[in-house]
Amino acid sequence: MTDWTGAQTRAREWFEALRDSICAAFEAIEREAGSDARFEYTSWQREDDGSGGEPGGGVRGLMKGRVFEKVGVNVSTVGGTFSPQFAASINGASVEQPEFTATGISLVAHMANPQVPAVHMNTRFLTTTKAWFGGGADLNPPLPREEDTADFHAAFKAACDPFGEDRYPRFKAWADDYFYIPHRKVHRGVGGIFYDHLECADEARFEAEFAFTRAVGEAFLDIFPTIVRRRMAESFTPADKAVQLEWRGRYAEFNLVHDRGTLFGLKTGGNIDAILMSLPPEATWN
Amino acid sequence: MTDWTGAQTRAREWFEALRDSICAAFEAIEREAGSDARFEYTSWQREDDGSGGEPGGGVRGLMKGRVFEKVGVNVSTVGGTFSPQFAASINGASVEQPEFTATGISLVAHMANPQVPAVHMNTRFLTTTKAWFGGGADLNPPLPREEDTADFHAAFKAACDPFGEDRYPRFKAWADDYFYIPHRKVHRGVGGIFYDHLECADEARFEAEFAFTRAVGEAFLDIFPTIVRRRMAESFTPADKAVQLEWRGRYAEFNLVHDRGTLFGLKTGGNIDAILMSLPPEATWN
């Protein structure tokens, strides 16, 4: 299987459908809080990299609400050739075969109330000379609560287990390793799952991994709104808010210094506003 | 000349004296604004890198005042061996000869009033198998004013010219090249000077370059307080403040994604609080 056009279309359509479901769920939460906030959508086109391929683009959705202080969700579908310096670092690509396609959804929510965790979720399908899925989700509470952490992890364990009982422990450990700020020697949140290179050597593997990717998205769609509703009406102090703003500084450090997705976007001509949509609406460094 | 111990001591003593003068000048401005804010100083020790050398350390000075919302000044003096991956990228160092010493002053001021420019200044003396000075200063006004920009550049031109009339144009162009945010395609401020590898092949060159480094520090000590006093009583609107906070987000992006000084510090076991003291007290990403 070397023509991934149909597979990429199906993956893209799923990411768009998941985006629509998530945005509807988040807007419903805003209604419950008495707000009429809605996502606003902006299309963007990737700059042509001169490779002759379809440069592609995406749609960036952004909502600033009463519960969701700033939530961005981006679905992008791009293709082209990696630069020679970058090609060698990508699975299945090389200076001789630098072509790639990528489609994916990425979401980051920063919440107004520091009692409500922030969250990140991303799933993607890439092709070079190989084809694979990657993704992850992690919970980022400024004020961690055991119940929320346990429920978040349980949701992703339930999504992983039907696809192999080794998956959840491996992907949880991978998240612990990835979502770590080495210069601070702290994790950026309470973890979740992270995975990459779930390779699709044939159509059967593609179908299995595509089903897994959908299960991860559906787990997110279920558990995160549950946690938000649990915490959104809780009171907080100015000291709690200060903790949140300082904690968001660490989050910005992670994304700008360490996050491979951010670097991938910046190096492949991605849309700056879409790539940096993950940054917090407000942060402090004391 | 291969024993740089005496030279390093003289450089360090100058950086400490300059720090004392600058802090006194900034505290005097706080008095004029009716504030009793003072610098607080914290000593830090570098973690031993296992090379058997003196790991060194520094003193971090921090003031949060009425005019200076957050100003950090750090004098550090460290030595040791570069990691193999890092050694090859440093002037005069290699995997075989990874030893280095570094002493320097670095300062970043973020101002409460958006009419007052933020500023950065750094000068340093490094030794590997070579010895050299480097440094720079750049003005970062959220709301640029031609008079301030012109005066800032004139001060550094006057400092440079006695040391060779090619210096100012070269170092100004170097600053324009360095203080640039490629992913935004904007400069982070209105420039200044930037220079590196002013090599001290013999004692005469050391004396000349040391005199140049002192001239740069004295130019800063004169011009920046002048600009602060010119602007500190000006009124500003909430929209001006919003511009400043958004602009500080760009500043944080530059420092975390591109700044070589920040990366040098993070990779050589520097003190995190000292390295990241440059980050703004508050920033927004809309």
Q: What is the DSSP letter of B48?
A: P
Answer yes or no: do A272 and B245 touch at CB < 8 A. Answer: no
A62 in B contact zone (CB under 8 Å): no
Are residues B111 and B63 in contact, defined by beta-carbon separation less than 8 angstroms?
A: no
The sign one gets for the Cα dihedral A185, A186, A192, A194 is negative
Whether residue A183 lies in the annotated active site: no
The answer for B 178-217 residues in CB contact with A (under 8 A) is 183-184
Which residue stretches of chain A have pLDDT < 50? Answer: 1
B235 in A contact zone (CB under 8 Å): no
Q: Is B103 exposed, middle or buried (0-12, 13-18, 19+ CB in 10 A)?
A: buried
B276 in A contact zone (CB under 8 Å): yes
Nearest residue on chain B to A268, alpha-carbon basis? B183
Contacts of A57 (CB under 8 A, 6+ apart): A43, A44, A45, A46, A76, A77, A78, A271
**Mutation to test the B interface, candidates A184, A277, A285, most B Cβ within 10 Å:** A285
**Which phi and psi (to 5°) does residue B10 adopt?**
-65, -40
pLDDT > 90: percent of chain A:
76
CA distance A283 to chain B (A): 5
Nearest residue on chain A to B285, alpha-carbon basis? A281
Beta strand B99-111 with B118-127 is: antiparallel
Q: How far apart are CA A31 and CA B128, in angstroms?
A: 63
B253 in A contact zone (CB under 8 Å): yes
Q: How far apart are CA B203 and CA B236, in angstroms?
A: 51
Nearest residue on chain B to A271, alpha-carbon basis? B183
Q: How far apart are CA A252 and CA B138, in angstroms?
A: 24
Contacts of B155 (CB under 8 A, 6+ apart): B219, B220, B222, B223
Contacts of A225 (CB under 8 A, 6+ apart): A25, A26, A28, A29
B283 in A contact zone (CB under 8 Å): yes
Identify the pLDDT of residue B85. Answer: 77
B281 → closest Cβ in A70, A183, A285: A285
Are residues B137 and B119 in contact, defined by beta-carbon separation less than 8 angstroms?
A: yes
Identify the pLDDT of residue A91. Answer: 85
Chain B residues whose beta carbon lies within 8 Å of the beta carbon of residue A276: 253, 285
Chain A residues whose beta carbon lies within 8 Å of the beta carbon of residue B249: 279
Chain B residues whose beta carbon lies within 8 Å of the beta carbon of residue A249: 279
Domains of chain A: 5-278 (3.40.1500.10)
B285 → closest Cβ in A183, A279, A285: A279
Q: Is A244 exposed, middle or buried (0-12, 13-18, 19+ CB in 10 A)?
A: buried
Q: Given the structure tokens 């000379």, which residue do they identify?
A: A129
CA distance A241 to chain B (A): 13
Answer yes or no: do A284 and B284 touch at CB < 8 A. Answer: no
Catalytic residue among B120, B183, B197, B258: B120
Identify the pLDDT of residue B140. Answer: 98
Q: How far apart are CA B83 and CA B253, in angstroms?
A: 26
How many pairs of residues across A and B have Cβ atoms under 8 Å apart? 55
B285 → closest Cβ in A245, A280, A286: A280
Answer yes or no: do B282 and A245 touch at CB < 8 A. Answer: yes
A256 → closest Cβ in B257, B272, B280: B257
Answer yes or no: do B282 and A282 touch at CB < 8 A. Answer: yes
CA neighbor of B283 nearest in space, from B231, B228, B241 = B241
**What is chain B's pLDDT, residue by residue, as a tens digit (286 residues)?**
468 999 999 999 999 999 999 999 999 999 999 999 999 999 988 776 666 666 788 999 999 999 999 999 999 998 888 888 778 888 888 888 888 899 999 999 999 999 999 999 999 999 999 999 999 999 999 999 999 999 999 999 999 999 999 999 999 999 999 999 988 899 999 999 999 999 999 999 999 999 999 999 999 999 999 999 999 999 999 999 999 999 999 999 999 988 887 877 777 667 888 889 999 999 999 8
Ranges assigned E (strand) in chain B: 40-45, 56-63, 68-81, 99-111, 118-127, 131-140, 180-181, 186-187, 192-199, 282-284
